[in-house]
Amino acid sequence: MADENMLFATEDQLENPEEQLVEVQTDKYLIFASDDLLYGIDADQVVEIITNHTITYLPRVPHYVRGIINLRGQLIPILDIRMRLGKMPGDKYCVVVVNVGGDQIGILVDGVEKMVDVPKEDILPMPTQNSEKMISGMCSLADGGTMLVLDCELLIHD
């Protein structure tokens, strides 16, 4: 009789598998490469990805601001992520346009990799001794890589 109860319990569980699943909350990130590292930006902030735009130089701006572009009548400042992180500028790039506090900025990156869903609990805080203040977290990716979470708000502030 005990075996029959076990059998029925198993059948009940199979009839309602939704009740057995625990919903995992995820955030979507756009992953891009810069200086052989993978960075992630919250996909809700990404407006578009563009290539082959002429960047107009601006004098008297921080060294990491490469200039501006005219994107359909809107002037968008372009920040070089390599230079912002203290690296040398690269020669190949694309621009990820992001919305930061209602303003759009462009970030020069080496290349866009992919869009991924990352479980919220997988994002770990950066170590407290981390000198990179623009990185708010990190996580391991399914393919074995590590993604550093870029905080775009801190990217534009010194």
Give the span between the Cα atoms of 109 and 139, in whole angstroms: 20
The answer to whether residue 13 sits within a structural domain is no
Position 15 scores a pLDDT of 57
The answer to whether residue 8 sits within a structural domain is no
Position 18 scores a pLDDT of 54
Six-digit token pair at 68? 């501006």
CATH number at residue 137: 2.40.50.180
Give the dihedral sign, CA 17/19/24/25: positive
The overall average pLDDT reported for the chain is: 84
Position 62 scores a pLDDT of 92
What total number of domains does the chain contain? 1
Reported pTM = 0.78
The answer to whether residue 17 sits within a structural domain is no
Give the span between the Cα atoms of 110 and 37, in whole angstroms: 10
The answer to whether residue 12 sits within a structural domain is no
Tell me the mean pLDDT in the region 58-75.
93
The answer to whether residue 104 sits within a structural domain is yes
DSSP result, the chain:
-HHHHHHHHHHHHHH-HHHHPPPPPEEEEEEEEETTEEEEEEGGGEEEEE-S-PPBP-SSS-TTEEEEEEETTEEEEEEEHHHHTTPPPPSS-EEEEEEETTEEEEEEESEEEEEEEEEGGGPBPPPTT---TTEEEEEE-TTS-EEEEE-HHHHT--
Domain that holds residue 106: 27-155
Give tens-digit pLDDT for 84-137. Answer: 888 888 887 899 999 998 899 999 999 999 999 999 899 998 776 655 678 889
Residue, of 156 and 98, whose pLDDT is higher: 98
The answer to whether residue 6 sits within a structural domain is no
Residue type, 18: E
